[in-house]
Structure 1
Amino acid sequence: MQKPKIMPRAAKYGNNYWNSDGPKVGMREVTLYSDLEFDHWVSIETNPDVETYCEQYPEISFVQNDELHTSVFDMWLKLRDGTVICREVKYESELNPEDRCNVRTLRQIEAQQIYCKENGVLYEIITDKLLRKSHNELENRLKIISFVKNNPEPKEAPQIYKAVRRERVDLQTLSELLSIPYMLVHDACLWLFYQGLIHLNIDEIIICKRSEAWLRE
C-alpha cells in the first residue's frame, strides 16, 4: 500500500502548508506543502477518472556525479482504467534550463523520468500555467470537493441524473422541469459531477443557475 513520505516543512521550498481530508483515499489526512500542490490536489480529487492517489510518493534514489541523491514525487496516482502516473508539480519558471537556479530541479526531473521509464509508469510535470489557466474552474473544483467532503449524496441525485441528456441544460431549467428547488438540483449536480456521471461547464462560469449540465459519455 502506498504511504506518503512526511516531509519537514523546511525541506520543501514552498510556503503555505495545507492539510485536508481526501475522499478518494478514505478520508485520510492529506498533506500538501505549497499553494500549487494544494491546487493540484483539488484537481485530482475532483477528476472522476482518478481512482486513488498518494501524495509525496514514491521516494527514489539516484547517483549523479558519484553522489547519492534522493527524490520524492509530488504525487502518485492510479486512473480507473489502471494507468499509473507519477507527477511532479512545478512553477513554469523552474523549468527554464537557462536559469542556473534550476539545476537541482532539472536534475531531479531527469532522475524521475529515468525511474518512470524503467518501471513502466507514465511521468507528467504539471505546472502553474496549466493548473491556474481558469480561475472559474479552480474555484468550482474547490467548491465541489468542499461540498462532497461535508455532505452525503443528495437523495434527489438519481432523479436529476435521469433528467440530464447529451444536450446541455442549465440548472434553473432542470429545477423547473422536475419541480425540485434549485439548491437541491445544484447540490445533486455537484455530486453527479464528482462521481463522473455528468459534465458541468466549470471552466466557463462560477456554478450558478446558469451553469449547464450534460451527460458524460
Structure 2
Amino acid sequence: MYSPVTMSRNMYYGSNFWSAYSHKLKRDVRFYSDLEYEHWLLVETNSDIAVFCEQPLKIAYEFEGKNTHTIFDMWVQERSGKEYFVEVKYSQEMRKGNKKYNRTMKQLEIQRAWCEENKKEYRIMTEKEIREPRIHLDNIRLLVSLTNHFIEVNPYQEEKILNLINNGCFSVSDLCSSYPSIPLRDIYIILSKNIFEGRIQANLDNLDFGYKTEVWSDG
C-alpha cells in the first residue's frame, strides 16, 4: 500500500485543484487537474477496485541537463489482486508540436521503464477514455455526491427494494409505484449506495440518472 506524496499546489504545473472525500478509502483525496479528478470519479465508483492511492510514488530523473522528478497520478489495486499505475494526460500533450510534448514523452518513458523494471502494469488515461461517454461521467459524479448520505439509508427500505430488484429489471418509476411510502429521494440514495457497492447495475451510459433509470442485479 502506498501513501500520497506531499505536494504543494504552487509547485505543480497542473491546474484546477480538487479536494474530495473518498468513501472507498475513508479519507480526503486531492487532485491537481480536472482530468485527474474525473479519473478518480471512475475509480471511486468502480466496485471492482478495492483500493487506490493518488500521487503514490515519486521518481527522480534528468531532463535537458536538469534534475527533476515525476509522480504517478494513481496506483490502483482491484479486488482480484491485480494492480497497476496510472498516468492521466490530455492527448494533445502527446502530440508533436505541443509545447509540453518533449517533457511529457520523457516523463512517460521514465514511468513506463520503472514499471517494466518492477514488473508493474502501466496505463495512460486520456480524456478520450475518461470523458466518453459524457453522460456516464455526469451520472457517476452524481453518485459520488450522494455518498455522504449513505448513512441515512433505512435498512428495512433497502431490503424491500433489493428484494424486488433481485427478481428482474426495474425503473425508478417502477420502484416508486411498488413502494409509494418510500420517498423518491430515499430511493435515489438506496440505489446509489448499491450501485456504488456493486450489488446492482444501472444503465448509466445512455440516460441521465433519474426517474427512467433502470436497475437490475447480476446475482
Partners of 1:210 and 1:98 in 2: CA distance: 46
1:14 aligns with 2:14: yes
CA distance in 2, matches of 1:122, 1:64: 24
Quote the residue 2:205 is aligned against: 203
1:161 aligns with 2:162: yes
Count of residues in correspondence between the two structures: 216
Taking a change above 3 Å as real, the CA distance of residues 126 and 159 of structure 1, as seen in their structure-2 partners, is same
From the superposition, tell whether residues 64 and 9 of structure 1 become closer, same or farther in structure 2 (CA, over 3 Å).
Answer: closer
Provide the C-alpha distance between the structure 2 equivalents of 1:166 and 1:71, rounded to a whole number of angstroms. Answer: 50
Shift of 1:150: 3.8
Aligned twin of 2:112: 113
SS at match of 2:24: helix
Matched position secondary structure for 2:153? coil
CA distance in 2, matches of 1:149, 1:50: 20
Is the CA contact (8 Å cut-off) linking 2:150 and 2:190 kept in structure 1?
A: no
Could you tell which deviates more after superposition, 179-188 or 87-96?
179-188
Q: Give the TM-score normalised by structure 2.
A: 0.89
Q: Distance in 1 between matches of 2:15 and 2:167?
A: 43
Following superposition, the deviation at residue 14 of structure 1 comes to 1.9
Name the structure 1 match of 2:77. 78
CA offsets 1:58-85 (integer angstroms, 9 cap, x no match): 1123456886542110011111111111
Alignment TM-score, normalising by the size of structure 1 = 0.90
Measure, in 1, the Cα distance between the counterparts of 2:110 and 2:94: 14
Q: Percent identity?
A: 30
Q: Is the 8 A contact 1:157 1:191 kept in 2?
A: no
Match of 2:129 in 1: 130
Could you tell me which runs of 5 or more consecutive residues in structure 1 were left unpaired when the two chains were aligned.
none
Distance in 1 separating the partners of 2:73 and 2:49: 16
SS of alignment partner, residue 124 of structure 1: strand
User: Contact 1:97/1:106 (CA < 8 Å) preserved in 2?
Assistant: no
Note the residue ranges of structure 2 that are not aligned, 5 or more in a row: none
Distance in 1 (CA, whole Å) between partners of 2:3 and 2:149 is: 24
| Structure 1 position 185, deviation (Å) | 2.0
Partner of 1:46: 45
The two structures, once aligned, show a CA RMSD in angstroms of 2.1
Contact residue 150 and residue 193 of structure 2 kept, 8 A: no
CA contact (8 A) 1:19 1:32 kept: yes
Q: 1:187 aligns with which of 164, 186, 189?
A: 189
- Quote how far apart the aligned CAs of 1:127 are: 0.6
CA distance in 2, matches of 1:52, 1:91: 24
Hey, what's the Cα distance between the residues in 2 that align with 1:95 and 1:166? Answer: 48
Q: Secondary structure at the match of 2:52?
A: strand
Match of 2:3 in 1: 3
Deviations 1:87-109 (A, max 9, x none): 00110111224546311111111
